Amino acid sequence: MSAMLLHLASYAPNARVVTMFLHEKALELPLREITHGQNREPAFVRMNPMGQIPVLEFPDGFCLSENVAICEYLEAQNPDPPLIGADDRERAETRMWARRLDLNICEHLANITRFGLAEDYFRSHILVVPEIIPGLAAMVEDRLRWLDLQMGDGRTFVCGERFTLADILLFCFLDFADTRVKPVEPGLTRVTGWLERVRARPSAVATRPRYPDQAAS
């Protein structure tokens, strides 16, 4: 593990998914902080042709990107404590929830940021379509209301009593959106309760982002 290198911008939700996952596993990896724009330069794009962080670089040069794929690899190599699952059925349930949240909430929140708050940066690197932000935001609100209903059975975490990758994934994006874009509707009390519960975890505190535009504090 220690011969690997994790390239990231530590304040970005996509990177925080991995650092929070590592913290929950009590694992450490050498980190390389990527500066604004460096991830679009040829040296980086050779590692990830999507130009996105995080990237896990292996000693032989193999490079793995996509937060969920990196976490799956880390869990396969370090099964305890299980954050995806201890058996095939648990892993299946976590992956089901992670994909639901990824497709219906997290990626929409990421695109709302890419085309909105961070448009000035992204415009020079990727296709941005700011005109779809209201539609994406409506979908996120609709899905958060749906999630709030699902959590009406009193579950502590997304998959019930297990804290999993699905929680980490949703948390990193929703914490970002709640803090920087638009607070979660207060009426969604199960979602906001869950958000506060996860925020209190040592892994969330340890990976709390400091944004480049924030004064050091």
**30 or 152: CB nearest its own copies:** 152
What is the DSSP secondary-structure string of the chain?
-TT-EEEE-TTSHHHHHHHHHHHHHT----EEEPPTTGGGSHHHHTT-TT--S-EEE-TTS-EEESHHHHHHHHHHH--SS-SS-SSHHHHHHHHHHHHHHIIIIIHHHHHHHHHTTTHHHHTTTS---GGGHHHHHHHHHHHHHHHHHHGGG--SBTTBSS--HHHHHHHHHHHHIIIII-PPPTT-HHHHHHHHHHHTSHHHHHT----TTSPP-
Q: Which is nearer to its own copies, 115 or 204 (CB)?
A: 115
- Comparing C-alpha atoms, which of 85, 91, 129, 113 is closest to residue 172? 113
- The answer to the question of residue 80 lying near its own copies (CB under 8 A) is no
72 binds its own copies per the rule CB under 8 A: yes
| Residue choice 91, 190, 197, 201 for contact with its own copies (CB under 8 A) | 91
Q: Considering the rule CB under 8 A, would residue 73 count as an interface residue with its own copies?
A: yes
Q: Which stretch binds its own copies (CB under 8 A): 5-13, 130-138, 168-176, 200-208?
A: 130-138
Would you give the binding string for its own copies spanning residues 145-174, x where CB under 8 A is met? Answer: -x--xx------------------------
Is there binding between residue 184 and its own copies (CB under 8 A)? no
Determine which residue in the list 20, 136, 169, 188 makes contact with its own copies, applying CB under 8 A. 136
Q: Which residue, 120 or 131, has its beta carbon nearer to its own copies?
A: 131
Interface with its own copies (CB under 8 A): 49-50, 58, 62, 64-66, 68-70, 72-73, 76-77, 88-89, 91-93, 95-96, 99-100, 102-103, 107, 126-127, 129, 131-132, 135-136, 138-139, 142, 146, 149-150
